[in-house]
Amino acid sequence: MRILWNPWRYNYIKQFSGNKEEERKECLFCKLQKMKDDEAYIVYRGKSAFVVLNAYPYNSGHLMITPYSHVPEPTFLNEESVLEIMLLVNKSLKALRKAFNPDGFNIGANIGRAAGAGVPDHFHIHVVPRWVGDTNFIAIIADTKPLPISLQESYEIIKKAWSEVE
């Protein structure tokens, strides 16, 4: 087996072993839920969770469903919250179909930093609309993802579609 050493990456890794209490003060989802809906791109506020448009989307219409509770994974939530989150995933699918008519979806949660979670201490589920041919050479050769619609316009279209689906 060959080993590729890259010790400079250790500086990146050790920055995440700091004070967890300080990280909580800076939690993105805790900040968003205190903001006005249109400023935070919050599509819907439920009893125990909310739906928000991702401001750094993989694709246009990329939504996230997150509980108000600052918990790292769904095992910390009661059954009522878990049920509401899954119902919001379903409604997100319906609203995104109505809004953008995607060919498919990616749905998932990254639990923990090792799994790729950008906000590892606040559980959330991603719902990403996908279209046949939505990847192209720019993403591959230039590490750039072109998005055909602004966040504001996406938000307005999704918010309208959300109110029209059950």
Catalytic (active site) residue 126: no
Catalytic residue among 62, 70, 122, 124: 124
Count the neighbouring beta carbons within 10 Å of the beta carbon of residue 46: 16
Scanning the structure block, which residue is given the tokens 């918010």? 159
Query: Which CA distances in Å does 100 have to 41, 54, 91?
Result: 17, 16, 14
HSE-up of 104 (CA within 13 Å, CB side)? Answer: 5
The DSSP output letter for 101 is -
Catalytic residues: 124
